[in-house]
Amino acid sequence: MYITEDTIRNRCVKETTFDRGKNYYHLGKVDFVNETDVEGNFQSVVSGSDPYNISLEFNKHGVLERAKCDCPAFFDSPGHCKHIVASLFSLKDQVENPVLKGKEKNQEIEQILDFFHQSSNEENQQLLDVEWTFSYEVPLSYYRKESSCSLSMRIGVERMYNVSHIEKFLHAIWNKEEYSFSKKFSYTPWLHRFSEQDQLVIDLLLEIFEHEKIANTSSFVQRSIFQGKKVQLSRPYIIRLFDLFINKVIHIDINQELFPDVPVIQQDIPITFELTQVQNDLQLTVRRLGKIASFLKEGGVFFYQHRVYVTSEQQSKKLIPLLTSFEKLRSDTMRIPETYKQDFVSGMLQHFKIDREIEVDKKITEQILQLPLHIKVFLDAKDGTILCDLQYHYGETVVKPFSENNMETDSSTGKILIRDLVKERQVMWVFEELEFQYNGQFMYLEDDERIYSFLFESLQKLQPLADIYYSDHFRSIHRSRKPKAKGKVVWNHDINILEVSFDMEGILLEELPSVLAAIQEKKQYHRLKDGSFLSLHDEDSSELLHMARLQEELQLKKTDWDKPFISLPLHQAMYLEQMNQQDDHFFDTEQDFNALVQRIKEPSETEYVLPEQLQPILRPYQKVGFQWLRSLAELGFGGILADDMGLGKTLQAISFILSLHQERQKEGKGLSSLVIAPTSLVYNWQSEFQQFAPELQVVVVSGNQVERQSLFASVADADVVVTSYPLIRRDIEFYKKIAFATCILDEAQFLKNHLTLTAQSVKLIRAKSFFALTGTPVENSINDLWSIFDLVLPKYLPPIQSFQRIYGNEPKNLSKRVKPFILRRLKADVLKELPPKIENKLVSILTDEQKKLYLAYLEQIKGQISSIIQTDGFNKGKLKILAALTRLRQICCHPGLFIEDYAGESGKLQQLKEILGEMIAGGHRILIFSQFSSMLKIIREVMEQEEYRYFYLDGSTPAQERMAMAQKFNEGERDIFLISLKAGGTGLNLTGADTVILYDLWWNPAVEDQAADRAHRIGQEKVVQVIRMVTQGTIEEKIYELQQKKREMIQQVVQSGETLLTKLSEQEILDLLSLE
């Protein structure tokens, strides 16, 4: 048990509590500390103003996990109370200075002395003689059917003594106690020993003794196998016993007739049989020199000719039926009537070798006919039932196994046919396995599932064993040819849709829906209207499986298959093309369809004219992004621009919107574009439009309801309307009446839950195209991606339930499906000139006061979480659990975040002060992020004390002020920017900084990456250093490990790699708390 003064002190929040508890211990206030029935659990009573009850729980490693006291102080404040401290000191003393009292002490010491005495005298111990007797009692009464086997023993030195009560004797051996046989002789464990051979048998009996003891304690009915001097033996123990006696001797008692010193040998019994002809019958005689007793019903151990034979399994199997019959007849001969002659001779000669194991009369051998077996199976079908005629052919002789007169041959020949019973049995087993029935003429099978198994599995087993003949009716239900299907895709330019048609071979088109439904229900087969069976295994119907997947993914209805062709929206061209690539060109396609696919795959860089003023500004990869946006929009598609953070997604969207505007101006059309963004970024969009597309009239709809109402009038004349996600939900009745040229969804991860009112409102907007901008299209699960696609390309992916079923475990297939409509580039790939981003972990340590608080709350939270999981269940209690974990993270940052009047220090804050001084002196400009706005305020106090010049931004900072502060900072004003992680982690351009400090860790590493990329983005000319502050030996280290594990996962959905921390599992939360 691990108890030290330091471990006790660390769990006290106040030093005074520790001192008072220690004083209580020295004053003798601890009445007792006793271990309970549960190992590692202790109870104690401490006398204070009242007697208080304490419980202590240690884990298997001896570390204290829980401590409770019923005093008021324990419930009022965190950490141990003085009564727990006193109890731990008392228990510590017991562990370090164990004292045995009274009788307990004497027993322990005597046992140790006995051991010393026994080990020193072992060589001088006297060897005991042992005689073992195995008793076999054969039932002589009709009422007693079972035989019984038992073992008894005699021991002694000069004279042998019966062990009259074997159970008591084994009990004495077990407990190393003396056992008296007479006044002259007692078994004494430290004076006597058994031979090596006898000790093995004793060990076997002790094993039986132990099992019997356990069985009797757990059973209401106690029937002992120990009966006086005998112990009853079951089959496994009989086999083990005689294995121990091989090449040794043992006394055998059969029905109270004693056979002394019987040798035990491991070999088959040396007996033979003789088969003779008596008139027209046969006679089998066993040649033996006395009776054979089988100690086991199944054979294996036999007594014969004053020997015990431990035989092979092969001999036992064939010998037991014959010996049993001879015993019942009480004779060594057996008469076999002529009617059984054929089968009996075949069976005997199959198992016993002529001359070596059985002698056969010459008259019989002359009649024996041995011919090769040819099995024939005739299959027919009638009214949905399979009929089968099974025949065994030996030359001209035909055996029908189910007929009364089962052999069709000339009986006057008098020949005895030796049948190949093994091969016959192999074939018969195939039919028995499927439970074929016999109607007096044929075997038959009616059940559809069994018929399918016979057609597609059992027939394959039969083919190497038999010649199989099919009737025409049977051929009609057994399809040997696989169904074939071929698709064709045509682009109907008149109505701009895809027309998909199919040619089927082997299945009527009207039956196709029911076949596809069977595939989706995971059935193994489908029975067609003509009665034939269609296998639905992958290898048997791959083309049908493709069509079933097509039906599920595109949500086709039964009625769709009745039409000459199926109409699909144009955006499904890429899905059909992927099917073609995977399925060896399942679809025939025309040149214009192929051109459409190529246009989506590789948008031409010169097809759409980039606005002239942006030509020198856009980088090459941004021009590709512009062409991609224009190409998809031209076809009426949408997509996700998922470039890495800092690569200018906003600028690419602005170039796209400006290009649409200029084209509309030429055509005289006046549709405006809509941009929806987080509240903090709406004015950032306005600023970007003013910088890169000043000719566009931009209206930002924000403010209260009265202000927004006044802005609605100017929307009609605007080229671009910018609003926020919260406001689109409130004003959707206004927006849904307007038709837009395009709708841009900035930071689209805000729409990852399709059930929110915001997502539902966006779905009501009418626009020719929708594009999502997000560096993190997948945050918690692939459902996030589905929600965004539901907005930008409705119905491209199957409904959410089907989507989860199809792609839940197939991220690679999902990646192929969405790839044409997601454009993602990484900074490392396209910005070779961008300076590197260097990431470091800075480890801080808790102050002594912080550490006491942390350990006290850790103890308390472990109990809380265990209780929450037991009462609410993990899923329902997850919010409570995460709230409890947040307390630990806040202590790591600064205990003053939730403990009022905390006057101590924070190790992390002290470290921040130190590195800030060095960085400012080195000319660095710094962004400091924290998820806790209250922590930012504490850091702001430090800024004031140190007289640093800084900006401060949290959720309460108005959007317009944020943009102004960002611009001033980038222009060189002030050196430090304090930013709330949630409020300023996205959208801001802060390339004026070269250092990012993440003061505390967030569960989702992508959120931290977004924050770091406020500085590491286009326009940055310096190396950016990202510092994550992690407190040693705390939950923060576990979070950091969890983040790294998630980062290392292969990015399969968004190909360039974008995974975010999944929701914490129960095991992950338990791992977070596994801290010493």
Rounded to whole angstroms, the Cα distance separating 1035 from 1032 reads: 9
Percent of the chain's residues with pLDDT above 70: 89
Rounded to whole angstroms, the Cα distance separating 361 from 341 reads: 14
Residue of higher predicted confidence among 893 and 479: 893
Residue of higher predicted confidence among 315 and 862: 315
Residues 949-964 have a mean pLDDT of: 87
Residues 744-757 have a mean pLDDT of: 90
Q: Residue 114 has what pLDDT?
A: 57
Sequence-ordered list of residues with C-beta below 8 angstroms from that of 856, at least 6 positions apart, any chain:
11, 12, 13, 78, 79, 80
Q: Residue 232 has what pLDDT?
A: 93
Q: Which of 203-207, 750-754, 849-853, 1062-1066 has the lowest mean pLDDT?
A: 1062-1066
Q: Residue 900: pLDDT above 50?
A: yes
Rounded to whole angstroms, the Cα distance separating 976 from 228 reads: 93
At 779, is the secondary structure helix, strand, or coil?
coil
Residue 953 structure tokens: 């931004």
pLDDT digits 0-9 by tens, 84-102: 999 999 988 887 776 544 4
DSSP class of residue 354 equals: B
Asked if 844 contacts 1033 with a C-beta cutoff of 8 angstroms, the reply is: no
Backbone conformation region of residue 947, classed left if phi is above 0, alpha if psi is from -120 to 50, else beta: left
- Pairing label, strands 467-470, 373-382: parallel
Q: Residue 725 has what pLDDT?
A: 93
Q: Residue 350: pLDDT above 80?
A: no
Asked if 718 contacts 748 with a C-beta cutoff of 8 angstroms, the reply is: no
Residues 288-295 have a mean pLDDT of: 86
Asked if 295 contacts 238 with a C-beta cutoff of 8 angstroms, the reply is: yes
Distances (CA, A) of 899 to 162, 853, 882: 80, 10, 18
Q: Give the neighbor-by-neighbor strand order of the sheet with 64-69.
A: 30-35, 41-47, 51-58, 64-69
Q: Residue 735 has what pLDDT?
A: 94
Q: How confident is the model at residue 720 (pLDDT cuts 50, 70, 90)?
A: very high
Q: Residue 1072 has what pLDDT?
A: 63
The residue type of 3 is I
Rounded to the nearest 5°, which phi and psi values hold at 619?
Answer: -80, 165
Beta bridge partners of 534: 526
pTM beyond 0.85: no
Angle of CA points 960, 965, 968, to nearest 5°: 130
pLDDT digits 0-9 by tens, 659-689: 999 888 876 667 899 999 988 788 878 888 9
Q: How confident is the model at residue 251 (pLDDT cuts 50, 70, 90)?
A: very high
Q: How confident is the model at residue 323 (pLDDT cuts 50, 70, 90)?
A: confident
Helix axes of 1005-1012 and 1035-1047: crossing angle, nearest 10 degrees: 80
Average predicted confidence (pLDDT) for the chain: 83
Residues 421-433 have a mean pLDDT of: 88
| Nearest Cα to Cα of residue 466 among 379, 529, 541, 546 | 379
Residues 798-815 have a mean pLDDT of: 84
* Residue at token pair 């016999």: 438
Q: Residue 968 has what pLDDT?
A: 92
Distance of CA 630 to the CA centre of its chain: 44
How many other CB atoms are found less than 10 A from the CB of residue 880? Answer: 15
Rounded to whole angstroms, the Cα distance separating 767 from 674 reads: 9
Residue 496 structure tokens: 């701009």
Q: Residue 360: pLDDT above 80?
A: yes
Sequence-ordered list of residues with C-beta below 8 angstroms from that of 914, at least 6 positions apart, any chain:
none
The residue type of 180 is S
Beta bridge partners of 54: 44, 69
Beta bridge partners of 333: 285
Asked if 429 contacts 381 with a C-beta cutoff of 8 angstroms, the reply is: no
Helices assigned H by DSSP within 586-668: 591-601, 620-634, 649-667
pLDDT digits 0-9 by tens, 3-43: 888 788 878 878 888 888 998 898 888 888 888 888 888 99
Residues 467-478 have a mean pLDDT of: 84
Sequence-ordered list of residues with C-beta below 8 angstroms from that of 248, at least 6 positions apart, any chain:
197, 263, 264
Asked if 777 contacts 815 with a C-beta cutoff of 8 angstroms, the reply is: no
Distances (CA, A) of 976 to 645, 845, 962: 22, 24, 15
Q: What b/e readout covers 928-959, taking b as 16+ CB neighbours within 10 angstroms?
A: bbbbbbebbebbbebbeeeebebbbbbeebeb
- Stated as kind and residue range, the H or E segment containing 218 is none
pLDDT digits 0-9 by tens, 1031-1066: 888 888 888 877 666 554 424 344 443 222 235 566
Q: Which of 121-130, 185-194, 576-585 has the lowest mean pLDDT?
A: 576-585
Residues 765-782 have a mean pLDDT of: 87
Q: Where are the beta strands (DSSP E) in 819-906?
A: 822-823, 837-844
The residue type of 403 is S
Residues 892-896 have a mean pLDDT of: 92
Asked if 897 contacts 874 with a C-beta cutoff of 8 angstroms, the reply is: no
| Nearest Cα to Cα of residue 153 among 143, 167, 141, 139 | 167
Angle of CA points 565, 570, 572, to nearest 5°: 80
Taking only Cα atoms into account, the Rg of the chain, rounded to an integer number of angstroms, comes to 45
Q: Residue 111 has what pLDDT?
A: 57
The residue type of 782 is I
pLDDT digits 0-9 by tens, 33-68: 888 888 888 999 998 778 889 999 887 767 787 889
Judged on CB neighbours under 10 Å (0-12, 13-18, 19+), 330 is: exposed
Sequence-ordered list of residues with C-beta below 8 angstroms from that of 373, at least 6 positions apart, any chain:
392, 393, 394, 419, 420, 423, 424
Residue 648 structure tokens: 């200018």
Residue of higher predicted confidence among 218 and 211: 211
Residue 260 structure tokens: 């002394």
Q: Residue 300: pLDDT above 50?
A: yes
| Nearest Cα to Cα of residue 962 among 673, 686, 775, 749 | 686
pLDDT digits 0-9 by tens, 227-242: 999 999 999 999 999 9
Rounded to the nearest 5°, which phi and psi values hold at 484?
Answer: -125, 145
Distance of CA 873 to the CA centre of its chain: 20
Q: Residue 110: pLDDT above 80?
A: no
Residues 149-162 have a mean pLDDT of: 93
**Cα Dmax for the chain:** 128
The residue type of 212 is E
Residue of higher predicted confidence among 832 and 7: 7
Q: Which of 338-352, 407-421, 468-482 has the lowest mean pLDDT?
A: 407-421
> Cα-Cα-Cα-Cα dihedral of 166, 172, 178, 183, to 10°?
-20
How many other CB atoms are found less than 10 A from the CB of residue 613? Answer: 13
* Residue at token pair 């930008």: 792
Highest mean pLDDT among 778-782, 820-824, 1035-1039: 820-824
Q: Which of 198-202, 358-362, 584-588 has the lowest mean pLDDT?
A: 584-588
How many other CB atoms are found less than 10 A from the CB of residue 576? Answer: 20
At 92, is the secondary structure helix, strand, or coil?
helix
Distance of CA 24 to the CA centre of its chain: 52
Sequence-ordered list of residues with C-beta below 8 angstroms from that of 198, at least 6 positions apart, any chain:
128, 130, 132
Q: Residue 1054 has what pLDDT?
A: 44
